[in-house]
Structure 1
Amino acid sequence: MEFPTGAEACDTSDVRIWVLRVPDGISASSLDLSVLDQEERRRMASFTHGCDRTVYAFAHVALRTVLSGLTGAPPDALRFTRAPCPCCGEPHGRPVLASAPLEFSLSHSRDLVLIGVAPVPIGVDAEPVPEPEAVEQIAQLLHPSECEEVEAAAPEDRPAVFARLWARKEAYLKGLGTGLGRDLAADDVRGDLPGWRLTDLPLAAGHAAAVAVNSPDPRTVRVHRSL
């Protein structure tokens, strides 16, 4: 996949990624929370720490800003629903727009926010590189080939190797709509998967990120660094 940058117009077959940093010094109260719906406000209020509320609010206001720009609908008029879960068929799969043929995915990690938009199902994920102790505990849950790749790396490189694989796996599971309800060992995400293209994304140091796109053919990935 290609990685042109900028906010220039693109073909509707493009995958578009916004990599945003939460500005220093802002708070949830300084954002235009009027664009959020009742469920978003409820979830925002459920966070104990103010910094978590701020990141959540910034991410969801940014998501609505992006989708508004692409659909022409006002940010507060956008309505979301859920696709059927591939595991059980119940309506708690990936989030979808109720009235526009665009697919999207949202991820945030510390002060970084990742938004992906495409004409086909998409998943994005950003992960901080974990501590070595966490890698030792969680790597065993991965696909055997993924686990072997982590263990084959030099000890100092294992956290970064694990973070890359974990971001690819989370992006794929978000695109599927199963989330972590699917067995972590079921899929080897070191390469593409049937019907899906998995691509690492350039991000800030200390983070790994990936996008999974439900497409048999390569698509141009356009990365934007601002709204």
Structure 2
Amino acid sequence: MVWSVRLDSDAAAAALALSRHTDRDLADFAAAPDAGNRLLRRRLTRALLGHVSGFGPSEILFGRTSEGALSVLSPKAWHLSVAGRAPLCLIGISPAAIGVDVEPFDESPPLWDMLTAAEGVEIEQLPPAERPHEWLRRWAAKEAHAKRFGCARRADPAVIETQPVGADRLKVSSEKGISDCRLRSVGGRIEAVAL
């Protein structure tokens, strides 16, 4: 299940009413930049996982992997990924590994040296007006892929290869493995889900 929600929406307010933060959540974000929005995303994640798993939000416990990726300690057998650029939030929950990313169109795409040589050639062949949008799609897919494998903090985007499979799909590969990445352009943003 993937939930795309704005932090300032009625849907978020309803979910936040069901899910309180824990002392552990506060400690997790105490020194983090954008701590307030991160805490809201955590509460939304807890509410969604509670809805999907049947567990009460207060029974849900999160942890971190050795790479720093968010993990579910309770209930067992769930994977999740969270992305956000306030007020945007994208939450993915699955029984299998999942990675998500959200990128607003008004953001400048990352530096071109984060493309592989093949990606650079493919994007350069597009009309100039389409290049930034396509690069942002590729970037979101790379981020979602790295999150799926729990290595987003240290992944080198220049060695993550993206290949178009269809209008809204990319095959994403790295030394960690291969992801099928679904993309959606909606409301001034790109959303990517890697499975």
Cα offset for 1:181?
0.8
TM-score (norm 1): 0.68
Query: Are 1:94 and 1:175, in contact at CA under 8 Å, matched by a contact in 2?
Result: no
Unpaired stretches in structure 1, ≥5 consecutive residues:
1-15, 84-90, 214-227
Mapped partners of 2:31, 2:153: distance in 1? 21
1:125 paired to 2:108: no
* Counterpart position of 1:175: 148
1:92 paired to 2:75: no
* Counterpart position of 1:187: 160
- For 1:205, the aligned partner's letter is G
Instruction: Write out per-residue CA displacement over residues 172-193 of structure 1, whole angstroms, 9 at most, x where no aligned residue.
Output: 0000111141221112122324
- In proportion to residue count, which structure has more strand? 2
Structure 1 residue ranges, 4+ long, deviating more than 4 angstroms after superposition: 31-34, 43-49
Unpaired stretches in structure 2, ≥5 consecutive residues:
164-169
Q: How many residues align?
A: 180
Mapped partners of 2:59, 2:127: distance in 1? 51
Query: Are 1:189 and 1:198, in contact at CA under 8 Å, matched by a contact in 2?
Result: no
Percent of residue pairs identical = 27
1:40 paired to 2:30: no
Q: 1:46 to 1:94 in 2, by over 3 A?
A: closer
Q: Higher relative contact order at CA 8 Å, sep ≥6: structure 1 or structure 2?
A: 1
Q: SS of the counterpart of 1:97?
A: strand
Matches within 5 A, 1:95-114: 95-99=70-74, 100-114=76-90
Instruction: Write out per-residue CA displacement over residues 131-167 of structure 1, whole angstroms, 9 at most, x where no aligned residue.
Output: 5xx44x6122221122223333222222211110011
2:63 to 81, 102, 110: 81
Cα offset for 1:58?
2.7
Cα offset for 1:46?
4.3
TM-score (norm 2): 0.78
Mapped partners of 2:19, 2:139: distance in 1? 34
* Counterpart position of 2:115: 142
Cα offset for 1:126?
0.4
RMSD of Structure 2 on Structure 1 (CA): 2.7
Cα offset for 1:211?
0.7
Instruction: Write out per-residue CA displacement over residues 86-140 of structure 1, whole angstroms, 9 at most, x where no aligned residue.
Output: xxxxx12432211321111111123221111111110000001255xx44x6122
